[in-house]
Amino acid sequence: MPDQAASGTLRFEVLGPLRAWRGESELYLGQAQQRIVLSALLLHANHPLSREQLMKAV
């Protein structure tokens, strides 16, 4: 089984504070607005979001 850190596998936690890991390393997700956009994209995975929907989320 390949090492997650080497393969670039990402894991996200969306219940509670938004968090992300690459392998065993937790990633910095930026300022509040960046985290809001990322959370909107994660919660609507595999569905396109318009610019207006993203702006409304922020």
| Residue among 9, 8, 28 nearest 18 (CA) | 28
Who wins on pLDDT, 1 or 23?
A: 23
Q: What is the pLDDT of residues 25-34, one digit of tens each?
A: 999 999 999 9
The DSSP letter of residue 28 is P
Q: How far is CA 39 from CA 11, 18, 27, 34, 58, in A?
A: 13, 7, 14, 9, 10
Domain ranges of the chain: 4-57
Which SS3 state, helix, strand or coil, does residue 43 take?
Answer: helix
Q: Please count the other Cβ atoms lying within 10 Å of the Cβ belonging to residue 47.
A: 7
Residue at token pair 């207006």: 52
Q: What is the pLDDT of residues 4-26, one digit of tens each?
A: 455 679 999 999 999 999 999 99
